Amino acid sequence: MSDAAVRIDALAERFWAWQCREFPLTGFIAGVRTEDPVMFREAPEDHERRHGEVLAFLARLDAIEAPATPRERADAALLRRELEDLRDFHLLGAHQRPWLLPVGPEFNTIYFANLTSLGDSKAAALYLARLGTLAGFFDDIGRNLREGRARGFRYPKVVLARAESNMRAVTQGAAEKTAWYGPFVRSATPWPQADAAKAVIAGQIVPALVRLADLLRDQLMPHARDSIAAADDVEGERYYARWVRHFTNLDMTPDELHALGLSEALRVEKEIEQVAAEAGFPGRVADYRRHLAESPEFFAPSGEALRERVEITAKRIDRQIPGFIGRVPRITYGVESIPESLAPRMPPAYAQPSPGDGSTAGILWVSGLPQKCPLYMIPSLALHEGWPGHLMHLALVQELEDVPAFARYNGPKYGACVEGWALYCEGLGDAMGLFRTPHERFGRLDMELWRALRLVVDTGIHTRGWTRQQAIDELATRVSLTLDTIEAEVDRYIALPAQALAYQVGNIAFRDFRARAEAKLGERFSVRAYHDRLLGIGTATLPVIGELLDDWLAGEAA
């Protein structure tokens, strides 16, 4: 190992320790155990301190010469990307206009609670202490929002309205029915801290979240804008462009991404026409969509029945995995229903990866509302969210010992990689024999069309002056999602500029990676060996994946 590589490794380890201290939830998800009760450090002074420390990290990185091997160069590039993201988004005031929808502050605390298990009295006491810090976290978010308002930042009205509604929704009901109390419910032991936890939830957490919701309504809403474009906010064009680069890893312009989305949508729609004809609707795609939407046979009778169907499909997938992937993760996963109180504001399904220490299994959350998840979508959703998609991908990455920890445990920061792989996995359903009917093949194509249209709608909203209704209509006339799901999706694109671009951009890249491998290796190509190598790279930017894959292909070809 060269001197440069040694110095990069040391700096990467130092950065990871810093990340775990500054972003405790990141360390918690990675399985880094600490007695620190604080799970969220989001006070204005925390952001200012971090900015100075990030600049110091960058200066140290700049002083190291370029390492020699592709893996070493990849590690250096990924470290630089992490640091430059932190620097740039701080300067653009991202912490003063934080994400509020659909993954807002309240969701992050619920996510933390859902990952927590109470194995002994010490863990129960620590969790109680952590609950005691959550009210301060919500108040810190409020301080950041007030600073952002003073700086001139203004949210779209629709984002504030939905975010306020979400916050108030999770404060309803008894403390023991909330997700924050969940670890005590899931534990078989009646821990003595349980009553104190109820008191903290009812007396501290809920009032603090209500204060935050009140702030949105009383202080931010009067100054909110009717416009939904990120470009219309302070430094909005730079803000959107920076998120585009973050989520796509590419230097494509919004116009280029918009055109790509239109092209991809037309390609998928041609395939849908063929499936509709096979299903008995030649030249009548609209009639076929109507048939799927109106026929009871395509919907589970209850949320429980829907969850059971997903579990059955997941087991069918498990049987096929060895033919496509050689190494499987040590941790497994289960399927749970998104509570009906949250389901209207959530997607049809999402993945909750297991923590790095393997203390709890991963969870594939599926909507508790059957109308949001037609049965013909289940194979594609299970492939995407479960195995071999998110839950397998992220679990395998956590086991990679030759990848720096900051890259192993920061999968969500590599959206084009993580979402691209999961979308690519939906396409594996054909070879796995999972799509047994034209309707299930339609489900896969319709989901890909949805992701292609995200390129069109997101750029339309943020750079082309599209209205919310225009975005809703574009999706409603071209994909088979319920209207409430489409409305929630469009509001998500408004609230999270450019995040939706990662999916199809990544999907295209992963298709291209495989085509490159097949062309290079010819008859020697093994899909199992290829997938193992691809997954062995870990979560990374698309250019880094391409460079490491080319290096592997060169060795294989030789």
Instruction: Please say which residue of 195, 214, 236 terminates a domain.
Output: 236
Burial of 157 (0-12, 13-18, 19+ CB in 10 A): middle
Q: Are residues 252 and 222 in the same domain?
A: no
Q: Which segment of 182-196, 327-341, 346-360 scores lowest on mean pLDDT?
A: 346-360
In the structure encoding, which two tokens stand for residue 410, read together? 């920061």
How far is the first Cα of the chain from the last one, in angstroms, to the nearest whole number?
24
Burial of 455 (0-12, 13-18, 19+ CB in 10 A): buried
pLDDT of residue 300: 98
Q: Are residues 57 and 182 in the same domain?
A: yes
- As a whole number, mean pLDDT of residues 263-273 equals 98
Please check whether residue 129 lies inside any domain of the structure: yes
Please check whether residue 418 lies inside any domain of the structure: yes
Question: In 10 A of CB 522, how many CB atoms?
Answer: 8
- As a whole number, mean pLDDT of residues 305-316 equals 98
The pLDDT tens digits for 456-508 are: 999 999 999 999 999 999 999 999 988 988 999 999 999 999 999 999 999 99
Q: Are residues 387 and 403 in the same domain?
A: yes
- As a whole number, mean pLDDT of residues 512-523 equals 97
User: What is the rounded distance in angstroms from the CA atom of residue 508 to the CA atom of residue 398?
Assistant: 25
Please check whether residue 348 lies inside any domain of the structure: no
Question: In 10 A of CB 400, how many CB atoms?
Answer: 16
The pLDDT tens digits for 211-243 are: 999 999 999 999 999 999 999 999 999 999 999
Please check whether residue 73 lies inside any domain of the structure: yes
pLDDT band of 312, cuts 50, 70, 90:
very high
What crossing angle do the helices spanning 206-215 and 121-151 adopt, rounded to 10°?
10
Pairing assessment for the beta strands 362-367 and 349-352 based on DSSP bridges:
antiparallel
Hey, CA dihedral for 378, 381, 384, 390, is it positive or negative?
negative
pLDDT band of 410, cuts 50, 70, 90:
confident
pLDDT of residue 482: 86
Burial of 294 (0-12, 13-18, 19+ CB in 10 A): exposed
Please check whether residue 126 lies inside any domain of the structure: yes
pLDDT of residue 343: 84
The pLDDT tens digits for 104-142 are: 999 999 999 999 999 999 999 999 999 999 999 999 999
Q: What are the residues whose beta carbons fall under 8 Å from the beta carbon of 119, sequence distance 6 or more?
A: 359
In the structure encoding, which two tokens stand for residue 141, read together? 């978010």
pLDDT of residue 74: 96
Q: Are residues 109 and 197 in the same domain?
A: yes
Q: Are residues 129 and 211 in the same domain?
A: yes
Q: Are residues 258 and 197 in the same domain?
A: no
The pLDDT tens digits for 200-211 are: 999 999 999 999
Looking at residue 355, the DSSP 8-state letter turns out to be: P
In the structure encoding, which two tokens stand for residue 455, read together? 């390129």
pLDDT of residue 341: 77
Judged against a pLDDT cut of 90, whether residue 68 lies above it is answered with no
Please check whether residue 459 lies inside any domain of the structure: yes
Please check whether residue 304 lies inside any domain of the structure: no
Judged against a pLDDT cut of 90, whether residue 411 lies above it is answered with no
Q: Are residues 467 and 447 in the same domain?
A: yes
pLDDT of residue 340: 83
Quick one: what percent of the chain has pLDDT higher than 90?
93
Judged against a pLDDT cut of 90, whether residue 2 lies above it is answered with no
User: What is the rounded distance in angstroms from the CA atom of residue 211 to the CA atom of residue 221?
Assistant: 14
Q: Are residues 22 and 162 in the same domain?
A: yes
- The length of the chain is 558
Q: Which domain holds residue 464?
A: 244-299+383-505
Q: Are residues 30 and 78 in the same domain?
A: yes
Helix (H) or strand (E) holding 269: helix 254-278
Please check whether residue 464 lies inside any domain of the structure: yes
Place of tokens 């909203």: 461
Judged against a pLDDT cut of 90, whether residue 527 lies above it is answered with yes
Question: How many domains, the chain?
Answer: 2
Question: In 10 A of CB 21, how many CB atoms?
Answer: 15
Stated pTM of the model: 0.94
Instruction: Please say which residue of 478, 505, 532 terminates a domain.
Output: 505
The pLDDT tens digits for 81-94 are: 999 999 999 999 99
Q: What are the φ and ψ backbone dihedral angles of 399, each rounded to 5 degrees?
A: -95, 0
Q: Are residues 165 and 108 in the same domain?
A: yes
Burial of 297 (0-12, 13-18, 19+ CB in 10 A): exposed
User: What is the rounded distance in angstroms from the CA atom of residue 207 to the CA atom of residue 134?
Assistant: 11
In the structure encoding, which two tokens stand for residue 373, read together? 């998840």
Beta strands in 332-403 (DSSP E): 333-338, 349-352, 362-367
The pLDDT tens digits for 6-18 are: 999 999 999 999 9
* Cα diameter, the chain: 67
pLDDT of residue 359: 85
| Residue 356 · residue 29 · CB < 8 Å | yes
Q: Three-class SS of residue 172?
A: coil
- As a whole number, mean pLDDT of residues 423-437 equals 97
pLDDT band of 355, cuts 50, 70, 90:
confident
| Residue 100 · residue 159 · CB < 8 Å | yes
pLDDT band of 360, cuts 50, 70, 90:
confident
State yes or no: cis peptide before 388, omega within 30 of 0.
yes
Instruction: Please say which residue of 209, 236, 263 terminates a domain.
Output: 236
Q: Are residues 11 and 133 in the same domain?
A: yes
Q: Are residues 403 and 489 in the same domain?
A: yes
Judged against a pLDDT cut of 90, whether residue 193 lies above it is answered with yes
Q: Three-class SS of residue 357?
A: coil
